[in-house]
Amino acid sequence: MTTTDTRPHPGGFATLAGRSVARVGFGAMQLRWADADDEPVAVLRRAVELGVDHLDTAEFYGDGTVNRRIRAALAPYPEHLVLVTKVGATANPGGEIELRLAQRPEELRAEVEANLTTLGVDRLDVVNLRRADMPPGLIAEGDQVVDLDDQLAVLMGMRDEGTIGAIGLSNVSADQLRRALPAGIVCVQNAYSLVDRTTEPVLDLCREHGIARVPYFPLGSSWPGTPKVTDLPAVISVAERLGATPSQVGLAWLLAHAPETLLIPGTRSVAHLEENVAAGGLLLDAEAMAELS
């Protein structure tokens, strides 16, 4: 990043697909639940104003609704914006579950093309392959059990064609990431938070190979009955001492815990967006880190 760049950079800078991005980005999934476009457009435009330049989305979020809202809010896209999408599932309108898996190579290609269309771009900066071997979410069965190498081959082909800039992975084990390294993986999205550190071996591998780590469920899973970071007594105590919210402390811990971490907290509220972005400026002292870790 050049010294003449005066844009804000919440959380500082890190590298994603060879680009410098702010470490606090935005995950757009929640925008699918807005009743109209006004609220999502306001949130997205405010995010860019605050320095967010890493935007995470997927065609299967609301059957294209989120991508269309991103396009309405931000196209023509700022040159510094890194658009990251995800494939491995597709919308299932009218189904008991709103998603179905789409793991086969031809389905991955179709999802990439759908993202290109709804976002209105010729190239996606990063495409994450969401595997379905383990929870959370749907588990692959039957013809949806697909070899990782076959999936990477089609994405690498699209990268060679120029429709994909870089390839990431989501919901993978350390062994799967190690196997995929020759494909040039630039980021990994796995569940990770103060209350769920089971994918620490993946983080270690990301650190070793200079791969960005993008945790989902950064404040704990949204599944009913699962622990939440904001309920931890230590988090509440640190938040009170530092004059922050518990969610800000949980996000700030992730940034402090590993410099490879990029955050993509999502929201439908401008006020909550501003709170999340401000977490990038929250410095946890040694006492706080010891209490939390």
pTM of the model: 0.95
Instruction: Report how many helices (DSSP H) and strands (DSSP E) the chain contains, helices first.
Output: 10, 11
Distance CA 134, CA 198 (A): 13
Q: Which two tokens stand for residue 214?
A: 């993008």
Second-level CATH architecture of 13-219+261-266: Alpha-Beta Barrel (3.20)
pLDDT tens digits in sequence order for the chain, 293 residues long: 444 567 789 999 999 999 999 999 999 999 999 999 899 999 999 999 999 999 999 999 999 999 999 999 999 999 999 999 999 999 999 888 999 999 999 999 999 999 999 999 999 999 999 999 999 899 999 999 999 999 999 999 999 999 999 999 999 999 999 999 999 999 999 999 999 999 999 999 999 999 999 999 999 987 778 899 999 999 999 999 999 999 999 999 999 999 999 999 999 999 999 999 999 999 999 999 999 98
Active site residue 77: no
- Can you give the pLDDT at residue 4? 57
- Tracing tokens 């990477």 back to the chain, one arrives at 152
| Nearest in space to 169 (alpha carbons), one of 197, 137, 135, 132 | 132
Q: Which of 61, 77, 192, 216 is catalytic?
A: 61
Tokens 């680009």 sit on residue: 19
Alpha carbon distance 31, 97 (integer Å) = 18
In angstroms, rounded to a whole number, what is the distance separating the alpha carbons of residues 55 and 27? Answer: 6
Distance CA 71, CA 90 (A): 19
Q: How far apart are CA 64 and CA 71, in angstroms?
A: 11
Instruction: Look at residue 8 in the predicted model and tell me its pLDDT.
Output: 84
